[in-house]
Amino acid sequence: MRVLVLQHIACEPPGEFEDVLRERGAEILRVELDEGGRLPARDEFDAIVAMGGPMSVNDEAEHPWLVEEKALIRTAVESGVPFWGSCLGVQLLAASLGARVYAGPAPEVGVLPVELTPEAADDPVFAGLPQTLATLQWHGDTFDLPDGAVLLATSPAYRHQAFRVGPSAYGVQFHIEVTPSMGEEWATIPEYAAYADRVLGPGGSDAVLADFRAATGEMQGHARGMFERWLALVPAEAGHSSAST
């Protein structure tokens, strides 16, 4: 299995998802777009994992590579390539399929619950999860659902928290993949800490870190289960030719 990882900043790798990929022997083709990485040809990968980042999908003037990235995602998803997107990744999926991405009513930051929709009960990735999931939220944008999308999770602050398009294209607004080491690193990044303090008030960053430490085991468990079930949707014939890692 050859998996294209679209990474938008060094401190937001796939985390728990990457651990699962390596355990499964997947070949990882990582493209760090903010560092000038070049996107591969369509025949070089079997699935896409798109991670978070501090930019908006609408920042094409500042980050011209977003145009090509969204075009690649659209072409891949429309041709049936399995896709998993987290935070910025879900917004990229929505935008790539023609949906609007825009600023939400207020930033959503912290360890916060999302509720599964009735449709999640029959979904191959979300079925069997608790009705309420603890998630790490760190975003200010939201999105409309693309045509044909199935809403899988929601919250009072941001109605669109997770959706599926077709049989194997998934996006989640929240982070559950963050490992303990990633969480500790985020707390030391001045821009990230300052953002939490602006949204939550003085000491907000410390409060988020404390809540993350308490919930990380639960979140990682759900991340692993969901991602393993998503990987099962990658066609069995994938990965018959080689790719670089």
Positions marked catalytic = 87, 175, 177
Q: Would you tell me the crossing angle of helices 16-23 and 204-231 to the nearest 10 degrees?
A: 30
Q: What HEC string does the chain produce? A: CEEEEEECCCCCCCCHHHHHHHHCCCEEEEEEHHHCCCCCCHHHCCEEEECCCCCCCCCCCCCCHHHHHHHHHHHHHHCCCCEEEECHHHHHHHHHCCCCEEEEEEEEEEEEEEEECHHHHHCCCCCCCCCEEEEEEEEEEEECCCCCCEEEEECCCCCCCEEEECCCEEEECCECCCCHHHHHHHHHCHHHHHHHHHHHCCCHHHHHHHHHHHHHHHHHHHHHHHHHHHHCCCCCCCCCCCCCC
**CB distance 19 to 63 below 8 Å:** no
Q: Which amino acid is at 244?
A: S
Half-sphere exposure of 213 (CA within 13 A, CB side): 8
